[in-house]
Structure 1
Amino acid sequence: MEKIEKVLASGNTHSTVNRDPKLQRGEFGVFDLKLTAPGVEDVEFIATEPHPTAEKLFAGAWSACYTTVFGIVASMKKVTLPVDYSVDITVNIGQTGAAWFLGAEFTVRVPGLAQDVVEELAHLTHQICPYSKSVRDNIEVSTRIVTV
């Protein structure tokens, strides 16, 4: 698998589970995008640009799926997640030589849980999430865990 040597464009997302539907965090020129999946809580993208790039759209769809599956995996493992857990994903498009590639960087924030527990949840989530499975061994994906 090739690694990106030069990033040309990026799409970033920040996903949280919205527990207060009246809470609006977008600012002028941006909006909060709420996505749902059957039988699970809403996932919210805070301050999304009105005309996102393809990288941001892919990061957003992947983030919604990954964040939802992360909650399901935690429930299966009997792990109670803090209300402020979140997932940030950056999808990069770039080049190595003349070839073009995608890459993804995850930051999984789960304050108060043990590092090894969150690492296990993140790994299992990548095994189950359809977006993670679809790019496995096709693009470079890194995952950073933050527990503070």
Structure 2
Amino acid sequence: MSDILFTSSATAKNGRDGHVKSSDGMIDLDLVNPAENKEGKGSNPEQLFAAGYAACFDGALNLVASKKDKQIDSTTTAEVSFMKDKEDGGFKIGVTMNVEVQGVSPEDAEELVEAAHQFCPYSKATRGNIDVKLVPQAIE
């Protein structure tokens, strides 16, 4: 195993209709399954995954840009979809990564987003396991 820099921990109880709490208490949320309970208030695993993936990807994008001497301002929105898996009848997720990159050409934005996708730890963890669609957009 690689050298561990830090470890984060969260505990869930009662699955999609339960509760999740991080070990430091920063995350302390009721969970609601929006597919079955559209009126309920709470988060869901896909929303939490989207938040983590968007933050990680945007960090990777900015690191990649700085290593290429590009000055950018970026906003990354991860849309995580919960879907029926046609292969096994179960469920799966897919991600559309909408990335706005200010300060570079459309070609550079596309190149930086692809490079970030190769570098991002979440992208590495999901590569070959879920569909990820990259949607870079250069903002002037």
**TM range, smaller chain:** 0.5 to 0.7
Give 1 or 2 for the bigger CA radius of gyration: 2
Per-residue CA shift, 1:102-142, capped at 9, x if unaligned?
Answer: 10001110134211111111111111111000000110100
Aligned to 1:146: 137
Aligned with 2:47 (options 34, 44, 56): 56
What residue is the counterpart of 2:80 in the other structure? 91
Q: Alignment partner of 1:121: what SS?
A: helix
What amino acid does structure 2 have at the position aligned with 1:143?
L
Corresponding letter in the other structure for 1:87: T
Give how far 1:71 is off.
0.7
> Alignment length, in residue pairs?
98
Superposed, which structure 2 residues align to 1:105-120 within 5 Å? 105-120=96-111
Matches of 1:96 and 1:134, distance apart in 2:
19
Moved over 4 A (4+): none
Match of 1:73 in 2: 64
Aligned Cα RMSD in Å?
1.8
- In structure 1, the residue matched to 2:119 is 128
Aligned-residue identity in percent: 30
Deviations 1:43-79 (A, max 9, x none): xxxxxxx832100101111111111111111000000
Deviation at 1:99, TM superposition (A): 3.1
Contact 2:71 2:103 in 1 (8 A): no
Please tell me whether the aligned partners of residues 98 and 135 of structure 2 are also in contact (alpha carbons under 8 angstroms).
yes
Question: 2:82 is aligned with what amino acid?
Answer: I
> Structure 1, unaligned stretches of length 5 or more?
1-49
Q: Which has the higher contact order (CA 8 A, sep 6+)?
A: 1
* 2:23 alignment partner in structure 1: none
In 1, distance between residues paired with 2:112 and 2:138?
13
Distance 2:52 2:106 in 1: 26
CA–CA distance in 2 between the matches of 1:112 and 1:65?
20
* Letter paired with 2:110: E
